[in-house]
Amino acid sequence: MRAAVIQFPGSNCDRDMAVAIREVMGADTALVWHRETALPANLDLIAVPGGFSYGDYLRSGAMAARSPVMQAVIAAAGRGVPVLGVCNGFQILTEAGLLPGALMRNAGIRFVCRDVKLSVANSQSIFTSGYAADEEITIPVAHHDGNYFADAGTLDRLEGEGRVAFRYAEPVNGSARNIAGILNDAGNVLGMMPHPERMIAAVQGGSDGRKLFEGLIREIA
């Protein structure tokens, strides 16, 4: 099993993500700098990690979405390669057009950094098959621009097509319909604001994030 974690100037969760993928999935994991124009061959997973790419100038993820490597990520997603974007990675995936909607400044204009309760809205995707439907899990968040927005028609379509993967169990940042993570129409791209890679072992305070990576092992295999 082979995976790649994309690195941008300002990434700060890239190594956390690589460790989670290696330890839980046992994958040979490469760190790929944003200026690369090609990805390693035969990838089973691409992760776009959290952080503050380019200092969040313009809009969070806006500049990173135009980095050379993102054309390769977009092409790989089009071929069906699973792509996981977490926090800033979610922002980058929306800016790159791989996911609909946008991540705006949190309601209340405050940085939110704490463990939050999530509800698993769709347990049938390749990313969420390790969870039960409506299972409540605890995953940390750390963001200033995690307020998910989309027009009413897009929100209805996401819900109707089962593309809402996770919801906040209670309001966290003002996200429309408490959405915490969404899937693309093909189901192979997931963007989520909470950090599953930070909750894979008891020493981190819990292991609810581990199930995401364990489910991916089974689905990819």
Distances (CA, A) of 46 to 27, 70, 94, 141, 154: 11, 11, 16, 21, 25
Structural domain count, the chain: 1
- Residues in contact with 161: Cβ distance below 8 Å, sequence separation at least 6, in sequence order: 185
Helix, strand, coil: what percent of the chain each, to 5? 30, 30, 40
Contact 79, 112 (CB under 8 A): no
Q: Which residue has the tokens 């020493």?
A: 203
Q: Domain of 140: which CATH number? A: 3.40.50.880
**Predicted TM-score of the model (pTM):** 0.96
Domain that holds residue 27: 2-220
Average pLDDT of span 144-169: 98
State the CB neighbour count (10 A cutoff) for residue 166. 26
pLDDT tens-digit map of 49-105: 999 999 988 889 999 999 999 999 999 999 999 999 999 999 999 999 999 999 999
* Residues acting as catalytic residues: 87, 195, 197
Taking Cα atoms as reference points, which of 164, 158, 115 lies closest to residue 137?
A: 115
User: How far apart are alpha carbons 61 and 64 in whole angstroms?
Assistant: 5
